[in-house]
A and B are shown apart, each in its own frame.
Chain A
Amino acid sequence: MTGLVLTNVTIRSPGGSPLFAPLTFGVRPGEIVSLSGPSGIGKSTLVAHIGGHLPAGFVTAGQVTLDGRNALALPAEARRIGVLFQDALLFPHLSVGENLAFGLEPAIRGRAARRAAVEEALEQAGLAGFYRRDPATLSGGQQARAALMRTLLAAPRAILLDEPFSKLDPALRAELRSFVFAHVRARAVPVLMVSHDAEDAAAAGGPVISLSPA
Chain B
Amino acid sequence: MTVREGRALRILVLTAVVGALVLPIMAGLFETARAAFGYLPVVGADHLSLAPWRRLADLPGLRASIILTLWTGFAATILSLFMAFALAGRVWMHSGGKRLRALALPLLAAPHAAMAIGLAFLIAPSGWIARVISPWATGWQVPPGIATVHDPGGIALILGLIVKEVPFLLLMILSVLAQIKAREQAAAARALGYSPQTVWTKILVPQIYRLIRLPVFATLAFALSVVDMALILGPTQPPTLAVAMTRWFVAADTRLLMPASAAAILLAALAMLSVALWILGERVMGALNRRRIVGGARRGWPIAVGAATGQVLLWLGTAALIALLVWSLAWRWSFPNGLPESWSVTAWMRGGWWIALKQSLFLGTVTVLVSVTLSVLWLEGETRAGLARARWASALIYLPLMVPQAAFLFGLSVAFLRGGIGAGHFAVMWGQALFVYPYVMLALSDPWHALDRRLDRTAASLGAGPWRRLFRVKLPILLRPILTAAAIGFAVSVAQYLPTLLLGAGRVTTLTTEAVTLASGSDRRVTGVFAVLLAAMPLVGFGLAFAIPALFYRNRRGLSGGRA
Contacts and interface: CB of A to CB of B under 8 A. Distances in A.
Interface of A: 48, 51-53, 55, 75-78, 80-83, 85, 87, 89, 91-94, 98, 101-106, 108, 111, 114, 147, 150-151, 154, 156
A91 B185 contact: yes
Contacts of B252: none
B195 A75 contact: yes
Contact of A94 (B183, B195, B293): B293
B450 to A, nearest CB: 23
Contact of B192 (A48, A53, A82): A82
Contact of A105 (B190, B191, B193, B206): B193
A52 B293 CA distance: 23
B290 A98 contact: yes
A77 B296 contact: no
A92 B185 CA distance: 10
Contacts of A98: 290, 293-294
B294 A52 contact: no
B191 A81 contact: yes
Nearest to A160: B191
A47 to B, nearest CB: 11
Contacts of B191: 51, 53, 76-77, 81-83, 151, 154, 156
B469 interface: no
A160 B185 CA distance: 16
B432 to A, nearest CB: 39
9 contacts: A53-B187, A75-B190, A81-B191, A83-B187, A83-B188, A91-B203, A94-B293, A98-B294, A101-B296
B187 A92 contact: no
B43 interface: no
A87 B185 CA distance: 10
A5 to B, nearest CB: 19
Contacts of B298: 77, 106
Interface string B194-206: 1110000011001
B184 interface: yes
B190 A93 contact: no
A208 B503 CA distance: 79
Nearest to B208: A93
Contact of A103 (B181, B192, B195): B192
A93 B192 contact: no
A80 B191 CA distance: 7
A55, A83, A89 — most chain B CB neighbours (10 Å): A89
Interface residues of B, number: 26
B207 to A, nearest CB: 5
Given A94-B290, A102-B296, A114-B296, 9 more contacts: A77-B194, A83-B191, A89-B187, A91-B185, A102-B293, A105-B193, A106-B296, A111-B295, A156-B191
Given A77-B298, A93-B207, A108-B296, A102 B192 contact: yes
A154 B193 contact: yes
A105 B210 contact: no
B387 interface: no
Interface string B261-298: 00000000000000000000000000000100111111
A118 B243 CA distance: 55
Nearest to A51: B191
Contacts of A83: 187-188, 191
B192 A150 contact: yes
Contact of A101 (B188, B203, B210, B294): B294
Contact of A89 (B184, B193, B290, B294): B184
A52, A98, A102 — most chain B CB neighbours (10 Å): A102
Nearest to B207: A93
B184 A87 contact: yes
Contacts, number: 86
B181 A89 contact: yes
A151 B189 CA distance: 9
A79 B78 CA distance: 36
A76 B295 CA distance: 21
Contacts of B190: 52-53, 75-77
Contacts of B207: 91-93
A64 to B, nearest CB: 15
B294 A85 contact: no
A101 to B, nearest CB: 4
B192, B193, B196, B293 — most chain A CB neighbours (10 Å): B192
Contacts of B290: 94, 98
Closest A-B pairs by Cβ, 10 of them? A76-B190, A83-B191, A101-B294, A89-B188, A53-B187, A154-B192, A106-B296, A77-B190, A103-B192, A93-B206
A202 to B, nearest CB: 26
Contacts of B185: 89, 91
Nearest to B95: A56
Nearest to B298: A106
Nearest to B203: A91
A48 B188 CA distance: 11
Contacts of B184: 85, 87, 89
B420 to A, nearest CB: 54
B78 to A, nearest CB: 21
B16 to A, nearest CB: 39
B296 A105 contact: yes
A85 B188 contact: yes
A76 B196 CA distance: 9
B193 A77 contact: yes
Contacts of A48: 187
Contacts of A150: 192
Contact of A102 (B187, B196, B294): B294
Contacts of A105: 193, 296
Interface in B196-244: 196, 202-203, 206-207, 210
Contacts of B206: 93
B296 A51 contact: no
B192 A101 contact: no
Nearest to A110: B295
B412 to A, nearest CB: 41
A95 B295 CA distance: 14
Contacts of A89: 181, 184-185, 187-188
A80 B296 CA distance: 15
Nearest to A147: B188
Interface in B422-472: none
Contacts of A53: 187, 190-191
Given A53-B187, A85-B188, A92-B207, A101 B181 contact: no
Interface string B169-188: 00000000000010111011
Contacts of A114: 294-296
Nearest to B289: A93
